[in-house]
A and B are shown apart, each in its own frame.
Chain A
Amino acid sequence: MGALAWGLMTGAAAPAASARDITDMAGTPSSVPDHPARIADLWFAHNELVLMLGGAPQIVMTVDRPQARPWMYQVFPVLYQAHAVNGPQVNAETLLRDRVDLVFVPEASATIAAFRAVGVPVLVSSFHDSDGLLRVVDMTATALGTDTARATAASYRAMMHDTVDNVRTRLADLPATARPRVVHIQSLHPLRVDGTDSIVDEWITLAGGVNAATGISGNMKPVSAEQVAAWNPDVIILGPDSGTLDQNADGGVWQRMAAVRAGRVYQNPSGVFPWDRYGSELPLQIRWAARTLHPDRFADVDMVAVTRDFYRTYFHYDLNAGDAARILAAQPPQAAPDGSR
């Protein structure tokens, strides 16, 4: 009872007393303050969108931790002031105590009813493909309510379309047989791959490849090494955090695969967020993947320059060439000389 009263009070005491209705990805409208000042972002992938749209100082609660996302904290050190929590099942009273006035969650779950009951607006922000990503970016920009956010969202959308068009044009005359069969491995122990109905599938296809994981639908599905051998992909892409591929494992099954024999096993880049999984660095991922799968058609693309450009424009961060190379190699930032952070 006291919490409810407190919630009503803090709701009423928000800087902008007026609010607008925003419909989230689950189709539910919520009344969001004009300029939310204290945001809780409870989905790993969504934080990056808020950061890109200039909402970094407003984030007071996040599920992304510096140990897991070192680049995110390097590029946006203001996040250190936020309260890092473990998962989307946050206690509603914790939100009130931190005076949160907007929450982003990955999906509609039982807990969000509790959030709404104490008067905290909740926006479900899940997406599964690039189109969904763009809609969530727009929704987030509207929620943040600043001109910067809206301008950035519009610019991002245009840039995404341009990137896709550009890649498509260069691959327009690619015959179906020239499309390499790609398996994207999310983790090695246990062995998990991504199938159709995932954003991974989408960028593989956009980049001129074919997802070799036939029969698999969805993200992070466990398979046996034998199954991967049966697919016999031309290219293997190892997601960040998947571990190192021991080619002698499983009795040498990996060594027999076309991808391993041809040396076409690549580490997927990972920056503020893993490029391959539902982050706003998707345009970078598409260009990197296209260049990796078809180096002849994308020889002029300088990934270091492209990355630095993106980080300057959308993260307002001056990334030096060395750091860009580390990001492309999925390596964390170099530790500072005095060992801090």
Chain B
Amino acid sequence: MTVARQRGQTPVAASVGDTPSGGSTVLAHPKILIEDVMFEYPDPRSDARLRALDGVTIRVRKNEFFCVLGPSGCGKSTLLYLIAGLQRPTQGRILVDGTPVKGPGADRGLVFQEYALLPWRTVRENVGLGLKIRGAPQAERDAIARAFIELIGLRGFEDKFPHELSGGMRQRVAVARTLANSPQVALMDEPFAAVDAQTRTTLQEELTRIWSQTKVTVFFVTHNVDEAIFLGDRVLVMTPRPGRVQGIVTVNVPREERQWATLERDPRFVGLRSQLNEMIRQSAVPADGHRDH
């Protein structure tokens, strides 16, 4: 199945520097450009302001599967909310296709950690929700929803409500709902964190398959090292709060060789895993000895 993608935005000539970001890649026209972003929010328990992100610069290529790895509370979810336009950076800017993000929009879909399916809508209606919002006729909506429900292997569950599904099935529906809306960028917030280990590996394989068919740019946040290697073209490691870029690693295992059955014994996979774990360990050590938090 192929998903038609016609929403072409003309990139505004943006002042994108050619400085390498963390890794070694030079990207003149990134799909997503996060430039020197800082984010602070008021502490609900005091007058102080808490800094979740600091000096974050990231360039994500078109059609890339980009993974962000970091401990809980390092601001990686905040980063997604900023790209989605649900929150504004305190400093710095975010551009998608060269256009500054001003607010939420259909070009940047978000898959929430806790699914966020509408409990009063069936699987079919949830998957077709984005198309409904954008005024697509019923027949088109149903056809696209059917194709995506097929793609996630939930045929026969079209008329079920979310509470009648397992956690893994709900997350599949949530992914389908985002992708059925044919976004330019799919943002994913630890979508498989709440499902059991077996379901998670299945979902990861399915997501790779669906991504290869839709070729959407994916910005995937996780705290699971193996998951990041399995899914990502590149993996970014974030420091604990305030979140900074610790480094970026390119996954040198070809897609066709990424199967859980063999991958865990692959020396390249083992090497990447220890490299990333080492980066996470280093990031946890305060650089200057007296970092606040």
Specify whether A and B are partners.
no
